[in-house]
Every structure is written in C-alpha cells, then in structure tokens.
Amino acid sequence: MIPFLDLKDLNAQYRDELLAACTKVIDSGWYIQGSEVQQFEQEFAAYCGTKYCIGVANGLDALILTIRAWKELGRLKEGDEIIVPANTYIASILAITENGLIPVLVEPDSKSYNISVKNIKSAITTNTRAILPVHLYGQMSDMPAIMEIAERYNLLVLEDSAQAHGASILGKKAGNWGHASGFSFYPGKNLGALGDAGAITTNDEQLASTIRAIANYGSHKKYENIYPGVNSRLDELQAAFLRIKLRSLDEAIAQRRKVADSYLANLRKTSLVLPLDEHISALDYEGHVWHLFVIQCENRDALQSFLASRDVHTLIHYPVPPHKQSAYKEWNDLSYPITELIHNHVLSLPISPTMKTEDVLLVSQIIEMYDSI
Ligand SMILES: *Cc1c(COP(=O)(O)O)cnc(C)c1O
C-alpha cells in the first residue's frame, strides 16, 4: 500500500528527540507559555526572516486573530472587503466572515492555482481594505505584484502561509512579504506538530503585541483585560515538538522536492496537466516547497479509482469550493468557472519527505499505464 502521507513514518525519525522533549516539558512543571513557546517563536521568526512570531492554537486562529487585531487597532472594520482566492481551503474565508468582514472571491490563475493579480485589480472597490493571498499547495502567490497593488491602493496584506513554510520568492520567505502571515502546524502540514498548533509572523510590533493580548484573554498582564479576548495559545509540548522538526525543515523540503522532480520527469509524456510549467518556473522554481503534488486529469475520478485499485492512496484538494458549501448558501448560485474547473480536475499524488524512490516510480508507472489505455 502506498499511503497519501504516512505521518507515523514521518515522525518516527524524530521519535527519540520527541520523547526527550516530552520528558523535559513534563518535568519542567510549566505547560503554557513557557520557555519552549518563547524559543520556538524566536526560532520560527528567524527562519521566516521576520521580527515577530506569535504562537497560537491553530492556523485558522492565526488568520482570525490577525484580522481581529487590525479591527482593534482601527485598521479594519466590519463590512470592509477583503480580496481572497475563490479556490482556497475554506479556513481563509472563515477568518474573514468570522470577523464580520466581506470576502470578495476572485478567480485564481489556472496554471499556478494561486490568486490572479489581474483579477485582484478588477475586484478592488472603494470598500476594499485588504488582500488575503493563499500560497496554495506550497507555492507562493505573486507577492512582488501583490505588494505593489497593496501599496498603490493602501491595502493590508495577510498571507495564508499554512501550506508554504519555507517557500520563497527572490530569497524572501512566505510570512515575510505581507503585513502579517498566518501559519498552521496541523500534523499533515510541511512543518507539523503532533496536534493542533499555529502562528502569526509579522514585522509590525504593535500588531504583534495586540494579537498576543487578544489570544490570551485580551490581556498583557494577568487579570488586566484590555480587549474582550479569546484563549488561543500554542502549548509548551507542541512548541517543543515544533522546535525539533523546524531544525530539519529545509531537509524535509529538499526531500519533497526530490519526489516532485521525479514525478515531473516520469509523467512528462502523459496527458496529465503537471504543476510548474514554464510560466511558474519563471517566477521561482526553488521557492516551491511541494506541500502537495497536484495534477489535473480529464477524468480525475477514474484515475483516482484506478490508483486506489492498485493500492495507491490519493486525495483531492479540494472536492468542493467554498462558494458551493452549505456554510455559504448565499454564494451557491455564483459562478467561478476556473475555480470549479480546478475542483473537478485536480488530484493530489502521494508526497512526503520519507516517500521511497521506488514508490514514486511505481505511482508514476501506474499513471502511465492508466494514461495509455
Ligand atoms: C490548513 C490550512 C489552514 C488552517 O489551519 P488549521 O491549523 O487546520 O486551523 C488555513 N489555510 C490553509 C490554506 C490551510 O491549508
């Protein structure tokens, strides 16, 4: 069996270190907001190249809390519009509606799957206050162009970097392009905890301090509550685990890249639409961290069944776009043809830092076999 992602296998290489970290935290007697969280925040900020990192409970909270803090700081208010790609994972959009702001969905670029800069421009109205680009599948959105638009129209930029730890454009990492960035450390992400965890990176001291307070009951100082806050903290144990895995994140990315390179070479002659055509590589090849290896196929469901019948497990990211979900009934009749086309044709092949070379070859051979019949 070739699983989509074998988390047990992936974490096995860190087992001794994770157990030692666990013992250390247990014996410290300090389980919330202690030195592991503080050190992880410093190390992750340094990794991304930002001044600040604030650990929170999960990736969705990272996005929600950033928008919430901008509201508290008077930079956003309810009813403001935020431009967001229509084909993102629903979390990016939930973070906007949860705050009472209005998501303006725009179509992605059909090749990179990331938000189209041209479509951002045509979606700007007098109510637009922010852009929320999502670095989908591990590849960065066109941040140089997005930041230029943001500057011209005086908009805030919140990167959704949940799938792009370590990705970069022009040597500058995800999390360090926008005014703030949300990260998820959900176990399956490129930097994954052993439970839920998330973080925000930013270079804005005032924003960092406001998020920190809101996430901790609206309080900088115990029992002094300046905002009606929430409880969304990264805990010591997860921070200790993340510190261990952060040290080899670049190596894990390099291993993912090897798998991707192999798929790209093996599947070149098939009829599948592969990621990273010339258009994308021109932007930045090395910057892609291959959270997912997503192909497009005319008859996606048939290919998925064919692979499943040969014990290869694949997933679809994502089967239903946010505007077709029951959660957003008011949008169900809207039409986003590029987004819908993507959702109907994409298939994510197995990829992981620990995936064996022969398994990559086997998956490729099965796809070639499917493609030739
Ligand atoms: C995973 C993910 C999130 C949410 O992260 P959680 O930690 O699961 O809350 C947000 N946006 C994108 C694009 C994601 O892939």
Separation of 98 CA from ligand 1 center, angstroms?
15
- Residue 222 in tokens: 């115990």
Is the CB of residue 53 less than 8 Å from the CB of residue 42? yes
Is the CB of residue 22 less than 8 Å from the CB of residue 240? yes
In degrees, to the nearest 5, what angle opens at C-alpha 177 toward C-alphas 295 and 259?
Answer: 30
For helices 35-48 and 236-247, the axis angle rounded to 10 degrees is 40
The radius of gyration of the chain's CA atoms, rounded to the nearest angstrom, is 21
* Helix and strand numbers, DSSP H then E, in the chain: 14, 13
Between CA 33 and CA 234 the distance in angstroms is 7
- Residue 201 in tokens: 């990176």
For helices 249-266 and 236-247, the axis angle rounded to 10 degrees is 60
Main-chain dihedrals φ then ψ at residue 324, nearest 5 degrees: -105, 5
Query: Whose C-alpha lies nearest to ligand 1, atom 5?
Result: 59
Separation of 362 CA from ligand 1 center, angstroms?
30
59 lines ligand 1 (CB under 6 A): yes
Farthest CA pair distance, the chain: 69
Between CA 335 and CA 329 the distance in angstroms is 13
pTM score over 0.75:
yes
Between CA 134 and CA 144 the distance in angstroms is 14
Between CA 68 and CA 245 the distance in angstroms is 30
Torsion of CA 218, 70, 141, 45, to 10 degrees: -50
Between CA 34 and CA 237 the distance in angstroms is 10
Between CA 36 and CA 243 the distance in angstroms is 8
Which residues, other chains included, contact 258 with Cβ-Cβ below 8 Å and sequence gap of 6+? none
Query: Whose C-alpha lies nearest to ligand 1, atom 7?
Result: 59
In the block, residue with structure tokens 């005032």: 206
User: What SS3 state is found at 49?
Assistant: coil
186 lines ligand 1 (CB under 6 A): yes
60 lines ligand 1 (CB under 6 A): yes
Is the CB of residue 9 less than 8 Å from the CB of residue 366? no
Between CA 136 and CA 346 the distance in angstroms is 13
The DSSP bridge partners found for residue 159 are: 181
Q: Is the dihedral of CA 158, 147, 50, 77 positive or negative?
A: negative
- Residue 163 in tokens: 């799938």
Separation of 168 CA from ligand 1 center, angstroms?
19
The DSSP bridge partners found for residue 200 are: 54, 182
Separation of 269 CA from ligand 1 center, angstroms?
34
Separation of 365 CA from ligand 1 center, angstroms?
32
Tens digit of each residue's pLDDT, the chain (373 residues): 999 999 999 999 999 999 999 999 999 999 999 999 999 999 999 999 999 999 999 999 999 999 999 999 999 999 999 999 999 999 999 999 999 999 999 999 988 999 999 999 999 999 999 999 999 999 999 999 999 999 999 999 999 999 999 999 989 999 999 999 999 999 999 999 999 999 999 999 999 999 999 999 999 998 899 999 999 999 999 999 999 999 999 999 999 999 999 999 999 999 999 997 554 555 555 689 999 999 999 999 999 999 999 999 999 999 999 999 999 999 999 999 999 999 999 999 999 999 999 999 999 999 999 998 8
